[in-house]
């Protein structure tokens, strides 16, 4: 079975885990080959924009190493998409929790390979297309999945509490959770049960026929918003701002990158004329600065290292629009005050500490907007400060959508 590879060191350990093109023990080339043999289209992008997906597509997320966009993936599922999350100790825990799935460790699995508790054996529970022809599956340093209502399709224990495989409907879509990402690697597919499980998984995901199956491995960013225009400029701006704010770059390089981001946004703004700004109807507060002012300040912005006030203001407008949509489900028929937003967030069930963080963030954005055109120039927003704003805003939006 090649189990010695599971503890391999040296040259094998240097191989990148979950590489779709790697034939090494920890690669995914066998899984990719299975898709080819079944004539299932399997894409392996370097970046996944959720806004480019259709409901007939499916995603396989293998051991994500960065936080997943919960709201976007949930919207994709509700529209009919299919998502597989194969993750034991990666960054998928919050995504699972949003569907009531908790992740822990198997409690003394009764069946193991060669008495090794790190190689627990899961057995099939009931019948399902995913477990057709699968009696057992072997995991490698797995976690265990639990849900108060769902029974695992594969479980480590006889009572069916510690699951290796869970699946459930999310409106028109399907979510499949696999408690061990290594079940799909080349070495583990030498087990007959694992190989049949992987084949069933691909067939299950490819059932729509005209859709794609997209394999997302560690290091591949998942960005964008489902249901909007593919590659929407503001979605890309959000990602660019996060990357830019966290970049460890010399001042000149940072200035040039910032200028590029703002210039792209300027092109988007000018190309949208004479339509009304998409922010005008969705704003929380008073009148937006006159259109020419922003364009005219591009030169000012480009000459000042680490001055990111204008991207911060743009992000603020987008955040406010998201809050209106999430909390009030309206399209901007009237302005909302900070107090109204905070009250609505509290009523939605947002914890007290998050309510305070929301109030502070909105107050900060309001002050930036008020001070942007005052004599002496706008207030300074450093990359680290913008990074904190974006981080806080995205976290709060995700929490609000989880409580919906």
Helix H, strand E, coil C: the string for the chain is CCHHHHHCCCCHHHCCCCCCCCCCCCCCHHHHHHHHHCCCCEECCCCEEHHHCCCCCEEEEECCCCCCCHHHHHHHHHCCCEEEEECCCCCCHHHHHCCCCEEECCCCCCCEECCEEEEEEEEECCCCHHHCCCCEEECCCCCEEECCCCCCCEECCCCCCCEEEEEEEECCEEEEEECCHHHHCCCHHHCHHHHHHHHHHHHHHHHHCCCCEEEECCCCCEECCCCCCCCCHHHHHHHHHHHHHHCCCCHHHHHHHHHHHHHHHHHHHHHHCCCCCCCHHHCCCCCCCCHHHHHHCHHHHHCCCCCCHHHHHHHHHHHHHHHHHHHHCCCCCCCCCHHHHHHHHHHHCCCHHHHHHHHHHHHHHHHHHHHCCCCCCCCCCCHHHHHHHHHHHHHHHHHHHHCC
What is the separation of C-alpha 241 from the centre of its chain, rounded to a whole number of angstroms?
16
Q: Are 250 and 114 within one domain?
A: no
Give yes or no: residues 301 and 390 share one domain: yes
Residue 298 to residue 258: CA distance in whole angstroms? 10
Task: Please state whether the predicted TM-score (pTM) of the whole model is above 0.85.
Answer: no
Do 197 and 306 lie in one domain? The reply is: no
Same domain, residue pair 245 and 294: yes
- Parent domain of 384: 233-402
In a shared domain, residues 215 and 255: no
CA distance 397 to 213: 28
| CA–centroid distance for 93 within its chain | 11
Q: Look up residue 166 and give its two tokens.
A: 């869970």
Instruction: Give the C-alpha separation, 372 to 288, whole Å.
Output: 11
| Domain membership flag for residue 358 | yes
Are residue 250 and residue 390 in the same domain, yes or no? Answer: yes
How far is it, in rounded angstroms, from Cα 56 to Cα 48?
16
Angle 104-106-110 (CA atoms, 0-180°, nearest 5)? 170
Quote the CA–CA distance of 190 and 2 in Å, as a whole number. 8
* Segments of the chain with pLDDT less than 70: 1-14, 207-209, 228-307, 329-335, 372-377, 404
Tens of pLDDT, residue by residue over 324-373, are 878 886 544 456 788 888 899 999 899 999 999 999 999 888 888 777 66
> Tokens in use for 404?
């919906």
Give the residue from 77, 90, 99, 92 showing the smallest Cα distance to 146.
99
* Final residue belonging to a domain, choices 194, 223, 252: 223
Q: Calculate ∠ Cα 34-37-39, nearest 5°.
A: 110
136 with 264, same domain: the answer is no
148 and 127 in a common domain: yes
Q: State the total domains in the chain.
A: 2
User: In this structure, are 237 and 372 located in the same domain?
Assistant: yes
Q: Give me the pLDDT at residue 287, please.
A: 39
Q: Answer yes or no: is 164 within a domain.
A: yes
User: Would 228 be classed as within a structural domain?
Assistant: no
In a domain, residue 12? The reply is: yes
Boundary residue ending a domain (223, 251, 269): 223
Phi, psi at 91, each rounded to 5°? -95, 20
Q: 291 and 211, same structural domain?
A: no
Q: What is the CATH number of the domain that holds 49?
A: 3.40.50.880
- Does 211 share its domain with 311? no
**C-alpha to C-alpha distance for 101 and 79, rounded to whole angstroms:** 20
Q: How are beta strands 58-62 and 213-216 bridged, if at all? A: parallel
CB within 8 A of 131, min separation 6: which ones? 124, 153, 154, 165, 197, 200
CB-CB contact of 311 with 261 (8 Å): yes
CB 298 within 8 A of CB 258: no
**Residue where a domain stops, chosen among 169, 197, 223:** 223
């Amino acid at each position: 079975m090649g189990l010695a590879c599971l503890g391999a060191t040296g040259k094998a350990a240097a191989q990148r885990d979950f590489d779709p093109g790697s034939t090494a023990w920890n690669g995914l080339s066998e899984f990719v080959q299975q898709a080819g043999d079944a004539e299932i289209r399997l894409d392996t992008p370097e970046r996944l924009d959720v806004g480019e997906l259709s409901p007939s597509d499916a995603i396989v997320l293998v051991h994500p190493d960065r936080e997943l966009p919960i709201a976007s993936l949930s919207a994709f599922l509700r529209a009919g998409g299919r998502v597989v999350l194969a993750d034991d100790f990666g960054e998928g825990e919050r995504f699972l929790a949003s569907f009531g799935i908790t992740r822990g460790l198997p409690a003394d699995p009764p069946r193991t390979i060669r008495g090794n508790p790190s190689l627990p054996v899961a057995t099939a529970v009931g019948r399902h297309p995913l477990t057709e022809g699968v009696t057992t599956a072997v995991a490698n340093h797995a976690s265990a999945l639990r849900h108060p209502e769902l029974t695992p399709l594969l479980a480590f224990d006889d009572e069916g509490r510690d699951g290796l495989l869970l699946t459930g409907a999310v409106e028109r879509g399907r979510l499949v959770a696999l408690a061990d990402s290594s079940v799909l690697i080349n070495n583990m597919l030498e087990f007959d049960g694992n190989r049949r499980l992987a084949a069933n998984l691909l067939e299950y995901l490819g059932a729509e026929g005209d859709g794609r199956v997209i394999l997302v491995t560690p290091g591949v960013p998942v960005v964008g918003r489902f249901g909007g225009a593919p590659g929407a400029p503001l979605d890309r701006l959000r990602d660019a701002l996060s990357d830019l704010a966290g970049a460890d770059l010399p001042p000149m390089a940072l200035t040039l990158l910032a200028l590029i981001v703002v210039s792209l946004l300027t092109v988007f703004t000018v190309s949208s004329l004479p339509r009304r700004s998409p922010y005008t109807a969705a704003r929380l507060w008073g009148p937006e600065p006159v259109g020419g002012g922003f364009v005219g300040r591009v030169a000012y912005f480009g000459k000042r290292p680490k001055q990111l006030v204008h991207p911060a203001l743009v992000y603020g407008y987008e955040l406010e629009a998201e809050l209106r949509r999430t909390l009030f489900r309206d399209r901007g028929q009237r302005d909302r005050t900070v107090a109204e937003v905070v009250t609505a967030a509290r009523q939605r069930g947002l914890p007290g500490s998050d309510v305070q963080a929301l109030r502070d963030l909105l107050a900060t954005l309001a002050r930036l907007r008020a001070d942007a055109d005052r004599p002496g120039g706008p207030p300074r927003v450093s990359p680290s400060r913008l990074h904190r704003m974006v981080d806080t805003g995205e976290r709060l939006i995700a929490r609000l959508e989880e409580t919906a």
